[in-house]
């Protein structure tokens, strides 16, 4: 394995594509050196590539971080492999500033940015973006602490892209006619979502976990779509779209000093002092385990979610929870997938996930299953949750999980836009400059005991919040075997 270990040490200097070729070549050289007289029947096939135990060590290229006079923070990452450029803007506080009576206002505002400015119509914006072969998009996701504006294209078109980007961010007009059309599309999208069991499950899950808006909201409501006005959009924009609330990242083929000057040309006159962080409702104590059944008559499946509130992104438990999540439901090699799909055939796939922001996010496991196997699926969920709590993870399985996480991180380093996202996260959460250099080592240091500690905290069956979307007549009695059941309709209203 000396050859394999030497190859891993080259990771700072070669691309992953080249690295894979090098591993293959080393393997071929080793094979040629073996005794060719050995019969094929005697060869032991392990069906796995050799894996080095050496911790991946990287030192990411450092961006240039600059704070302009108006408070706008720039994160500039040079990458000269391709003649392209990517821009990523994060404007706080995003959906966390939605008024309680207008859920979706941050999303409405972001989605309307491209629909016309003081200088361009919606059609003109689209034509210019297309003529440049560029991309330009804005969004404000529910649960996120910022609005995103992203753009990309050829490096030679950077000035034109910034001109468009600054126009929609600084001077949106929110035309009434465009808003009317947008509201029609939003209403249709909501109607479609309300027929989707996965959407209904996530909606109910957030309501159970967070109770109060804005954290409990996962979408606009019919009422908020009908109610929102041009004045609402302008007011939200004027209050929150401020340079001192904003990070603007750029990655690609440019010189940092030249890019700074170009950004200052388009954003330097933007004014507005920073505002305080959004005031969120106090987190209420999580109630004992309960099952919320969302009645979906005649449904042929039950969509199951089990989970609980978890951590902030800066929580020290982040690394252990990342590894624990990978083991339980991080992909097709995980326990839930192998159990519910491969062994029992209950579902096409079962996964777990967690999110972490400035506020405590959630950890959850999901599976859409056939209605007749709801009982068996719940049994296996409970079994896997108890197993991760009660039994130390075998070292081989732990190794596989840690390698998968670190390998995914290493592959992301080949993509400047993803690396820029990492650096924006560093600024957003206030990480130290060497955070990402140390990330692989932190993951590799997670042991079985640490996994068990976070499992007991965040996969706690005594506080587990369950949601099941399905036909009440067929599954209510089944679910009662696993705990107290509360039945609600698609809008979250209690049913008798």
Instruction: Write down the domain spans for the chain.
Output: 2-36, 64-267, 290-488
Domains 64-267 and 290-488 share a fold: yes
Residues whose CB falls within 8 Å of the CB of residue 258, separated by 6 or more in sequence, listed in order: none
Percent of the chain's residues with pLDDT above 70: 89
C-beta neighbour count of 232 within 10 angstroms:
18
Query: Which whole-number Å values give the CA distances from 494 to 213, 421, 472, 486, 487, in the listed order?
Result: 18, 41, 13, 8, 6
Contact 475, 316 (CB under 8 A): no
Contact 74, 263 (CB under 8 A): yes
- Our measurement of the distance from residue 5's CA atom to the centroid of its chain's CA atoms, rounded to an integer in Å, reads 33
Superfamily name and number for 64-267: Metalloenzyme, LuxS/M16 peptidase-like (3.30.830.10)
Separation of alpha carbons 410 and 407, rounded Å: 5
The closest alpha carbon to 60, from 445, 428, 424, 403, belongs to 424
For the segment 487-495, the average pLDDT, to the nearest whole number, is 89
Residues whose CB falls within 8 Å of the CB of residue 288, separated by 6 or more in sequence, listed in order: 462, 463
Query: Which whole-number Å values give the CA distances from 33 to 26, 37, 46, 104, 310, in the listed order?
Result: 11, 12, 19, 65, 52
- Please report where in the chains the tokens 């919606």 appear, as a residue: 122
Confidence check: pLDDT of 429 > 50: yes
Separation of alpha carbons 187 and 353, rounded Å: 29
- List 354's β-bridge partners, or say none: 363
Residue 346 corresponds to which tokens in the numbers above? 């209950």
Separation of alpha carbons 219 and 234, rounded Å: 20
The closest alpha carbon to 320, from 484, 454, 120, belongs to 454
Separation of alpha carbons 2 and 118, rounded Å: 64
Contact 182, 116 (CB under 8 A): no
Q: Which residue has the higher pLDDT, 31 or 141?
A: 141
Contact 284, 465 (CB under 8 A): no
Separation of alpha carbons 350 and 331, rounded Å: 8
Confidence check: pLDDT of 30 > 60: no
pLDDT digits (tens, 9 = 90+) for 156-194: 999 999 999 999 999 999 999 999 999 999 999 999 999
Separation of alpha carbons 1 and 152, rounded Å: 42
- Please report where in the chains the tokens 């949106």 appear, as a residue: 172
How high is the pLDDT of residue 189?
97
How high is the pLDDT of residue 25?
37
How high is the pLDDT of residue 50?
53
Edge to edge, the sheet with strand 147-154 lists: 64-67, 73-78, 246-252, 84-91, 147-154, 135-139
Confidence check: pLDDT of 271 > 50: yes
Superfamily name and number for 290-488: Metalloenzyme, LuxS/M16 peptidase-like (3.30.830.10)
Separation of alpha carbons 42 and 191, rounded Å: 62
For the segment 217-244, the average pLDDT, to the nearest whole number, is 97
Confidence check: pLDDT of 220 > 80: yes
Alpha helix segments (H runs only) across 357-469: 374-390, 395-412, 416-429, 435-444, 448-458
pLDDT classification of 54: cutoffs 50, 70, 90: low
- Please report where in the chains the tokens 């190859």 appear, as a residue: 7
CA quadruple 38, 42, 44, 47: dihedral sign: positive
């Amino acid at each position: 394995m000396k050859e394999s270990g030497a190859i891993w040490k080259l990771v700072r200097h070669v691309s992953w594509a080249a690295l894979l070729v090098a591993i293959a070549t080393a393997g071929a050289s080793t094979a040629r050196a073996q005794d060719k007289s050995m019969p094929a029947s005697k060869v032991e096939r392990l069906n796995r590539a050799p894996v080095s135990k050496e911790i991946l060590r990287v030192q990411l290229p450092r961006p240039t971080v600059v704070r302009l006079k108006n408070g706008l923070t720039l994160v500039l990452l040079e990458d000269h492999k391709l003649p392209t450029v990517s821009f990523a803007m994060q404007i706080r506080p995003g959906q966390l500033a939605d008024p309680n009576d207008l859920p979706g206002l941050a999303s409405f505002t972001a989605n309307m940015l491209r629909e016309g400015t003081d200088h361009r119509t919606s059609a003109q914006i689209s034509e210019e973006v297309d003529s440049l072969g560029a991309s330009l998009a804005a969004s404000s996701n529910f649960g996120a602490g910022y609005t995103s504006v992203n753009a990309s294209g050829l490096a030679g078109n950077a000035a034109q892209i910034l001109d468009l980007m600054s126009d929609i961010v600084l001077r949106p007009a929110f035309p009434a006619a465009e808003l009317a059309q947008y509201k029609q599309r939003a209403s249709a999208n909501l109607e479609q979502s309300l027929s989707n069991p996965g959407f209904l499950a996530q909606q109910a899950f957030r309501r159970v976990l967070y109770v109060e808006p804005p954290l409990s909201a996962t979408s606009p409501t019919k009422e908020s779509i009908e109610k929102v006005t041009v004045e609402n959009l302008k007011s939200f924009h004027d209050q929150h779209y401020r340079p001192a609330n904003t990070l603007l990242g750029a990655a690609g083929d440019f010189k940092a000093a030249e890019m700074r000057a170009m950004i200052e040309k388009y954003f330097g006159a933007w004014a507005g002092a920073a505002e305080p962080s959004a005031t969120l409702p106090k987190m209420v104590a999580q109630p004992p385990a309960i099952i919320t059944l969302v009645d979906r008559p005649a449904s042929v499946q039950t969509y199951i979610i089990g989970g609980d509130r978890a951590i902030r992104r800066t929580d020290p438990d982040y690394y252990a929870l990342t590894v624990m999540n990978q083991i339980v439901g991080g992909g097709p090699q995980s326990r839930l997938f192998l159990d519910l799909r491969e062994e029992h055939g209950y579902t096409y796939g079962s996964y777990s996930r967690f999110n972490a922001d400035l506020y405590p996010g959630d950890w959850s496991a999901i599976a859409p299953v056939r209605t007749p196997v709801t009982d068996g699926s719940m049994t296996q969920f409970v079994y896997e949750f108890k197993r991760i709590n009660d039994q130390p993870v075998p070292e081989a399985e732990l190794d596989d999980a840690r390698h998968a996480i670190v390998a995914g991180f290493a592959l992301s380093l080949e993509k400047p836009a993803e690396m820029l996202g990492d650096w924006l996260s560093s600024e957003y959460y206030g990480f130290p400059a060497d955070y990402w250099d140390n990330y692989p080592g932190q993951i590799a240091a997670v042991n079985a005991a640490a996994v068990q500690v976070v499992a007991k905290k965040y996969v706690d069956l005594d506080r587990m919040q369950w949601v099941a979307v399905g036909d009440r007549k067929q599954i209510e009695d089944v679910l009662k075997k696993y705990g107290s059941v509360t039945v609600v309709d698609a809008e979250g209203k209690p049913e008798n």
